[in-house]
Amino acid sequence: MMRIDIGSAAWRAYRIVGRVQGVGFRWWTRRTAEQLSLYGSVRNLTDGSVEVHVTGGVNELGRFEEFLRHGPLGARVDVLESIKPDPESPSDVFRIEP
């Protein structure tokens, strides 16, 4: 898994493949991240997958990854792939991007 650790915070990024568009996945991701005090962004990709960039405490990121493996009700996660994190992603909010 690719990570960039900055003090007690770390960056993670994922590409999620499955039935993840049109099922509220981005909204659920933002709500879940906010509940865990994580920051970053989520967006739909043109190939039907979803991309997430997230930063926060290592323990919270571990919990977040487990939530992503299942997704919200109505979604189906076939693949959760670690990708290169983008340290330019927001570090003070969790944003849903178009």
Report pLDDT digits (tens) over 63-92.
999 999 999 999 999 999 999 998 777 778
In a domain, 11, yes or no: yes
Kindly give the pairing relationship between strand 4-6 and strand 9-19: antiparallel
In a domain, 68, yes or no: yes
pLDDT at 8: 64
Give the tokens for residue 32: 């879940």
Closest CA to 40 of 53, 57, 26, 27: 53
In a domain, 50, yes or no: yes
Contacts of 26 (CB under 8 A, 6+ apart): 42, 43, 44, 50, 96
pLDDT at 88: 77
Q: What is the pLDDT of residues 24-68, one digit of tens each?
A: 999 999 999 999 999 999 999 999 999 999 999 999 999 999 999
User: What is the CATH classification number for the domain harbouring 15?
Assistant: 3.30.70.100
In a domain, 96, yes or no: no
In a domain, 18, yes or no: yes
Q: Please list the active-site residues.
A: 26, 44
In a domain, 42, yes or no: yes
Residue 98 in contact with residue 43, Cβ under 8 Å? yes
Give me the number of domains the chain comprises.
1
Q: What is the dihedral of CA 87, 57, 79, 93, to 10 degrees?
A: -60
- Give the residue numbers spanning the domain of 32: 4-85
pLDDT at 4: 42
In a domain, 37, yes or no: yes
pLDDT at 21: 97
